[in-house]
């Protein structure tokens, strides 16, 4: 397979990854961007608001969700990625666990694979990553979306997530993926109680200590609702709090639906840490 056109990801600065779900059933924006033109318009808005990466997904992984066939996922994401790649310079990420979808998305102009199964969902995915040379995000998930929130248990959630990420990184390296392609993600909300999510955010520095860029995906998630008593659209400021906490722990990429407030918080927090405004 030919290498995708833009396979490098500049993570010299922490950045915002804007989320667009081209799905009928995502937990917070399901149905809003199912039409390609609506998804494209939303992606362009997120880039204008400061997203340095746009993550396009065609299958919901919310608790209880049903898997979607590859053909349906491709139908949803390809027109959006194709059009977006012609319009913006920022890297486009495809949120998929399927090798066929990843291949199609890379050919259409995506340059990052966001695999919530961490290369476990499809035996061919690791080869797509190795052959393309593109960055890949390996995320922790306990169980499968359909049942992952049915009483998840850990002896020590942070230890287990650390061990899992180390094992998945070793697997990828053994199969020909370069270390500099790897991003890692504790998988906030994927087979975790409120307390598990809080422990992971509190101890995020242990995950950043693994030495690869860490992605944090806390945006509008249920644990914020449990703290705030708010529906997804009322969880924006709570999400911003997780972005600042993540930044202080050394995380690099903040996957959010509400780009503007998270980007502003990131810029202010970075300016404080650097002692001067950053661009």
- The whole-angstrom separation of Cα 32 and Cα 42 is 9
- The whole-angstrom separation of Cα 20 and Cα 117 is 19
Question: Catalytic residue at 142?
Answer: no
Among the listed residues 168, 192, 235, 255, the single catalytic one is 255
By CB under 6 A, the residues from 142 to 181 that bind ligand HH2 are none
Give the closest residue to 89 by CA, choosing from 55, 42, 47: 47
Per CB under 6 A, 242 contacts ligand HH2: no
Which of these ranges, 44-52, 57-65, 222-230, 233-241, lies near ligand HH2 under the rule CB under 6 A?
A: 57-65
Q: Which of 4, 9, 15, 28 binds ligand HH2 (CB under 6 A)?
A: 28
Q: Which of 15, 46, 56, 139 binds ligand HH2 (CB under 6 A)?
A: 139
Q: Which residues are within 8 A (CB) of 275 and not within 5 positions of it... i.e. 6 or more apart?
A: none
**Binding mask of the shown chain, residues 83 to 122, with x at each position contacting ligand HH2 by CB under 6 A:** ------------x------------------x-x------
Which of these ranges, 68-76, 156-164, 170-178, 185-193, lies near ligand HH2 under the rule CB under 6 A?
A: 185-193
The number of angstroms, rounded, from the C-alpha of 225 to the middle of its chain's C-alpha atoms is: 20
Question: Catalytic residue at 255?
Answer: yes
In the complex, what is the shortest distance from the CB of residue 267 to ligand HH2, in angstroms, rounded to a whole number?
A: 22
Give the pair of three-digit tokens for residue 271: 């300016």
Kindly write down the DSSP assignment for every residue of 83-131, as one continuous string.
HHHTT--S-EEEE-S-HHHHHHHHHHT--EEEETTTT-S-TTHHHHHHH
What is each CA distance from 187 to 3, 72, 225, 273, in whole angstroms? 28, 25, 17, 26
Q: Which of 18, 52, 62, 207 binds ligand HH2 (CB under 6 A)?
A: 62
Pairing label, strands 53-57, 112-115 = unpaired
Would you tell me which residues interact with ligand HH2 (CB under 6 A)?
19, 21, 23, 26-28, 57, 60-62, 95, 114, 116, 137, 139, 185, 187-188, 215, 217, 255
């Amino acid at each position: 397979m030919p290498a995708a056109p833009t396979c490098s990801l500049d993570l010299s600065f922490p950045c915002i990854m804007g989320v667009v779900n081209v799905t009928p059933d995502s937990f917070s924006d399901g149905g809003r961007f199912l039409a390609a033109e609506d998804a494209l318009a939303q992606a362009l808005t997120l880039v204008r608001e400061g997203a340095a990466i746009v993550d396009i997904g065609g299958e919901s992984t919310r608790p209880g969700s049903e898997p979607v066939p590859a053909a349906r996922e491709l139908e949803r994401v390809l027109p959006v990625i194709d059009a977006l790649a012609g319009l913006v310079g920022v890297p486009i990420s495809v949120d998929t666990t399927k090798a066929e979808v990843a291949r199609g998305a890379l050919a259409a102009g995506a340059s990052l694979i966001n695999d919530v199964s961490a290369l476990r969902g499809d035996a061919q995915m690791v080869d797509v990553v190795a052959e393309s040379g593109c960055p890949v995000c390996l995320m922790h998930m306990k169980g499968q979306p359909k049942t992952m929130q049915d009483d998840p248990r850990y002896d020590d959630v942070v230890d287990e997530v650390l061990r899992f990420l180390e094992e998945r990184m070793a697997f990828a390296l053994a199969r020909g993926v370069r270390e500099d392609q790897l991003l890692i993600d504790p998988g906030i909300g994927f087979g975790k109680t409120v307390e598990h999510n809080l422990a992971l955010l509190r101890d995020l520095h242990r995950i950043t200590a693994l030495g690869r860029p860490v992605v944090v995906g806390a945006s509008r998630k249920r644990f914020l609702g449990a703290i705030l008593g708010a529906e997804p659209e009322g969880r924006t400021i709570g999400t911003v709090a997780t972005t600042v906490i993540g930044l202080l722990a050394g995380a690099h990429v903040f996957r959010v639906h509400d780009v503007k407030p998270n980007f502003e918080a990131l810029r202010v927090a970075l300016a404080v840490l650097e002692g001067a405004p950053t661009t």
